[in-house]
A and B are shown apart, each in its own frame.
Chain A
Amino acid sequence: MSAALLPDAPAAPDGFVLEVLDVSKQFPGVKALDRINLRLRPGSVHALMGENGAGKSTLMKIIAGGIRPSSGEIRIKGVRQDFQAPADAMRCGIAMIHQELNLVPHMTVSENIWVGREPRRFGFVDHGALRRRTVDLLERFGIALDPDVEVASLAVANQQMVEIAKAVSYEPDILIMDEPTSSLTEQEVQHLFTIIRRLRDQGRAIVYISHKMSEIFAIADEVSVFRDGAHVATGLASDFTQKSLIGLMVGRELTHMFPKATVELGEVVLRASGLTLPGVFRDVSFELRRGEILGFAGLIGAGRTNVAEALYGVTPAASGSIEIDGAPARIRSPTDAKKHGMAFLTEDRKASGLFLMLSVLENMQIASVADYCRGGFVRQDALSEASEGMRQALQVKTPDMDTMIENLSGGNQQKVLIARWLMTAPRILILDEPTRGIDVGAKSEIHRLMSELVLKGLSIIMVSSELPEILGMSDRVVVMQEGRVAGILDRTEATQERIMELAAR
């Protein structure tokens, strides 16, 4: 706090450049943020920590004007602000670097940095001035980039640097960085830290979101921890240890009962050996037994979904092998995987699961239509009967089978998708985030169903970002970290702390 303040970044009398007061955010069915308080000091790096879904990103979007809070208020330099759009937040000196890149690929570095703010001369873009400004900006922060090169031709790490230069060019008082190092090498991370320190010494406040413990202790002055939409702790970085941070992040009681039945595990039904997809995951090996629920835990971006997609042939691995029932299986497409008795409930219901313009019945039957055909004609009566049986078994709540699927709740949509797969009589069920974004009731019904299925001899691979679900349902847990298997834990040795240690290393 001893850093000299720039004249253009005056702080409020009490010394906070931004105050978040009692902010809550209610999404349909979910309370994403619950009465959050957060204060930023100028000339300080404030790290936000928390599991996936803890509410960090929602809070940052509120601060940057992307979404509006349900209640509570935001004060900038002591003045209450009600942002309607990101442009309002920018005017108040807030810039954000998003996790995903937001660049225009076929424009040059300088065009990208100043897009919408190009220096003009007689109504035309003044390319000379544009270039001078860019060179000046890049030099100031020691970023070695050619301002005239197309962004598309840059490596991802350099694109990230353009993103950073763009954010800095707004001369923000508050700079929010959401996992800015996910695509950077160690050396580039150090360079980024140098830039962050320079900005901090100029009196700017930096919010730094990261899962990487080492980075937090290297760069952060203060740390705030979030859990399940609530703020649990704030303090000086030096007051925390890695262990105490993990404890705060996961330190929640198991609030839901998980009806996991004890199932005698049978023979190995699926064995993955050395699965590798360059740049995505490497050397992934594990076994799945009959009657087993194998959990896949890890942070977002650890490669869990990619491994699931490789198993199912959506994006096959480049090397490594898959054995099913002890025999090598060549799975190059979902059609192949289905022939081997596999089923795949994808993570994103809307993007790769639902046919929104079709009915419940049509959504449920699409994967098994081929089994109900005679001479190419669908035996609709038999198929409808089977679908109706599945609807009753899964207790899908719908007025009738001809209702458009988009009118069902998320939980019931998910049940329809599970029914779709059960109708193919699979032996290996891959569930990617099976209960994401659905209500508690449907959630426990799906968990009970999973238990029933493994009792009947199915094997389940479950990718989940919810640690309680992983711990409650899995016989064993594969923990992934940055594309590799960091460890495989038995049900008895798996704890939230052990998993987070492996995942966040």
Chain B
Amino acid sequence: MSMVADTSVPVSARRPRKLPVEASILAVLVGIALIFELLGWTLRGQSFLGNPSRLLIIILQVSIVGLLAVGVTQVIITTGIDLSSGSVLALSAMVAASLAQESDYARAVYPGLGDLPILIPVAAGLLVGALAGLCNGTLVTLGRLPPFIATLGMMVTARGLARYYTHGQPISMLTDKFTAIGGGANPVLIFLVVAAIFHVALRYTRYGKYTYAIGGNMQAARVSGINVTRHLMLVYTIAGGLSGLAGIIMAARATSGQAGMGMSYELDAIAAAVIGGTSLSGGIGRITGTVIGTLILGVMTSGFTFLGVDAYIQDIVKGLIIIAAVMADQFRRKRRSI
């Protein structure tokens, strides 16, 4: 720019533009995939990546967690956390499934109910999720609870509600129209569309500007005239709604609603966001990073299974990678503050 000549700020102080943050995360993803490719040839004599159906399965498996991760990324950007997403997923799955049962099924949750339009179970699932999210948001803002505690409470409560709803009985015999939501590559499509929507929302809308501002400096955001309380409620409600959506898809895919669904998915979602470069100190994070972070988790799970690695060892390695991601974040911030 033409301004450069008349300033005294050293060139090095400028924001580095060469590579977006995602590039390094993408490199990690590619690196991990290549390691599995190499190990695949040496240990099993076959290709890891050269199998299109495996790649689709990877994305299919992560799209549920991915939806949760898109929600929790936004919450973490505001310096919050959402531990309830896995449980809210289950509760929404139960409610949606109960309204999507075949009308002639004798042991339906609501036996008198006729065939409902597909919109009803979907709307109900989304609504349950959004309400749980609004509840989180209210506890955090008006209730002044730390987000960790508020969403921990919701995590336990929503799981309890999901179990209480049918006293632990699974809800099966769902209509074909409903189960079609989870059929084929639909979950992947929904995940990618949702991710794209929130990528744009965070980057190009007022909603996004306010989200980053609140995470960067809540007090300054408040003084700048941003209604922080209302905005935080909105962010938590959106995260809850996305958990609801994930619940609908999971029930449709499994052709049943089960109270134990999405167990500890909230941790995978948080891990995906953090691996993707979202800072737990708030103000930093992008949906593209989160999507890549989700894929990293998916590739690892798939790769370890492909190599026949013990499931327990999988968890150990996953844990180490999460720690490495957070350490990288700390290192980045330390370097920035010098």
Interface residues of A (CB under 8 A from B): 312, 314, 333-335, 337-338, 344, 346, 351-359, 362, 365-367, 369-370, 373, 376-378, 380, 397-400, 402-404, 407-408, 420, 424
Contacts and interface: CB of A to CB of B under 8 A. Distances in A.
B216 A397 contact: no
For the complex of A and B, the 5 pairs showing the least CB-CB separation, nearest first, are: A338-B225, A407-B13, A355-B216, A352-B219, A367-B224
Of A354, A359, A369, A402, most buried by chain B (CB within 10 Å of CB) is A369
B14 A400 contact: yes
A362 B13 contact: no
A370 B15 CA distance: 26
8 contacts: A335-B226, A353-B223, A355-B213, A366-B213, A366-B226, A367-B224, A397-B7, A399-B3
Given A366-B213, A398-B3, A403-B15, A314 B223 contact: yes
Contact of A358 (B1, B216, B222): B216
Interface string B222-240: 1111110000000000000
A367 B220 CA distance: 10
Contact of A346 (B207, B216, B223): B223
B207 A399 contact: no
A177 B40 CA distance: 72
A333 B206 CA distance: 20
A400 B17 CA distance: 13
Interface residues of B, number: 34
A209 B171 CA distance: 74
B13 A400 contact: no
A366 B204 contact: no
A403 B13 contact: yes
A466 to B, nearest CB: 23
A424 B216 CA distance: 21
B14 A402 contact: yes
B212 interface: yes
Given A335-B226, A376-B205, A399 B11 contact: yes
B285 to A, nearest CB: 11
Contacts of B44: none
Contacts of A344: 223
A355 B220 contact: yes
Of B8, B206, B221, B224, most buried by chain A (CB within 10 Å of CB) is B224
B9 A399 contact: yes
Interface string B140-167: 0000000000000000000000000000
Contacts of A355: 212-213, 216-217, 220-221, 283
Nearest to A349: B220
A403 B204 CA distance: 19
B67 to A, nearest CB: 22
B204 A377 contact: yes
A399 B1 contact: yes
B4 interface: yes
B210 interface: yes
Contacts of B205: 373, 376-378
Given A334-B225, A357-B283, A407-B13, A400 B220 contact: no
Contacts of A397: 6-9
A376 B210 contact: no
A369 B13 contact: no
A404 to B, nearest CB: 6
Given A334-B222, A358-B216, A399-B7, 12 more contacts: A314-B222, A333-B222, A358-B212, A366-B224, A369-B206, A378-B206, A398-B3, A399-B11, A400-B1, A403-B15, A404-B13, A420-B224
Contacts of A380: 204
Contacts of A402: 14-15, 17
A496 to B, nearest CB: 31
B209 A378 contact: yes
A369 B336 CA distance: 27
Nearest to B224: A367
A352 B226 CA distance: 13
A407 B11 CA distance: 11
Contacts of A314: 222-223
B217 A356 contact: yes
Contacts of B336: 357
Of A353, A378, A399, A403, most buried by chain B (CB within 10 Å of CB) is A399
Given A354-B220, A357-B283, A358-B212, A404 B15 contact: yes
B223 A312 contact: yes
B14 A399 contact: yes
Interface in B1-52: 1, 3-4, 6-9, 11, 13-15, 17
A403 B14 contact: yes
Given A333-B227, A369-B210, A399-B3, A407 B220 contact: no
